[in-house]
Amino acid sequence: MRHALAIAAHGPEHGVNPRVGCVLLRADGSIAAEGWHRGAGTPHAEVDALGKLPEGAARGLTAVVTLEPCNHHGRTGPCSQALIDAGIARVEYAVADPGEKSGGGGDHLRRAGVAAHEGVLGAEAAEFLRRWLLATTRKRPFVTLKWASSLDGRTAARDGTSRWITGAAARQHVHEQRARHDAILVGTGTVLADDPSLTARGDGGELLEHQPMPVVVGLRDVPAGSSILRHPRGVLETGSRDPEAILLDLYRREIRSVFVEGGPTVASALVRAGLVDDYLVYLAPTLLGGPRLALGDLGVDTISAQRRLRVTSVTSLGDDLAILARHHSGSTS
């Protein structure tokens, strides 16, 4: 199963489908074939692995899969039925598929006489699939809120200038994070103040292969001539300030992950509504003072109402730090 998780990581993090790995084992424990999912419209991991064996060679094998085999017809057929048709005798999967349409593959396998069990390395697989599982369960995209600030929490100087608080390594890290998401979200205030292009670029300024769709929150139109209007994915203008409605609409558009780079107004609205899953904060060893805080009012009137976070990683990027955090269990979200 750990090997299945490792090969699942070859698949893209963005997109509507989860990253899944499958290993087919012989009775002696040796690997007969392996496969992983390469993105929407391509064979799922189970079918990818089965396709590497001659016809009939999968009969009696054990399939080890990071996610419960799907049980529906989407862009491809159901993996549970493919395993049954191939004569797989046993299936071990790490976590159940929570999808209303895609779930239920384990029961389908068991009804067909296949020994199917859930839970091998379940916690590791759930963490690996966290973005997709949360999006599927909550029926909204996974939200990563990013900001870059001084040590005293300021995102700009008093006059609004902010280029550059962090160094080149941190800024490049941001581009890589953009490319890991389906969409990048900002408010109209950020578009007007900074005129960002919101593309994901490499060290040399070249466009990376995957570009997140720019999404602009707010009631004002994006001005003609704005850099964002030249984005290769086009621009989605929401015409709304309602964060829950916006995320619901994005989910319906098959967007499963959103990278938020909007200013304090958008960021604070998402935090207040409990819609942030990951916080990615870039801290620069500098002090600015003044009013330009990363977040505005969150409705925390007393210390007992604080929104406690748990730091999951700290990465050094030149002189800067990238801190990844999520809500501490038991805290207000």
| Per-residue pLDDT tens digits for 77-86 | 789 999 999 9
Number of H-type helices and E-type strands within the chain: 10, 13
> Is 212 in contact with 236 (CB distance < 8 Å)?
no
- Between 39-43, 119-123, 207-211, the lowest mean confidence (pLDDT) is in 39-43
Residues of the chain above pLDDT 90, percent: 82
Could you give the C-alpha distances from 300 to 84, 263, 274, 296, in angstroms and in order? 54, 19, 13, 10
Domain ranges of the chain: 2-135, 140-327
**Which CATH superfamily, name and number, covers 2-135?**
Cytidine Deaminase, domain 2 (3.40.140.10)
Two tokens at 163? Answer: 């280029």
Considering the segment(s) 140-327 as one domain, its CATH architecture is 3-Layer(aba) Sandwich (3.40)
Q: Which pLDDT tens digit goes with each residue over 254-313?
A: 999 999 997 899 999 999 999 999 999 999 999 999 898 999 999 898 998 888 999 999
pTM of the predicted protein model: 0.91
Residues 6+ apart with CB under 8 A from 23: 1, 3, 4, 7, 31, 33, 34, 49, 63, 64
Q: Exactly one of 46, 68, 92, 261 is catalytic; which is it?
A: 46
Catalytic residue at 46? yes
pLDDT of residue 159: 85
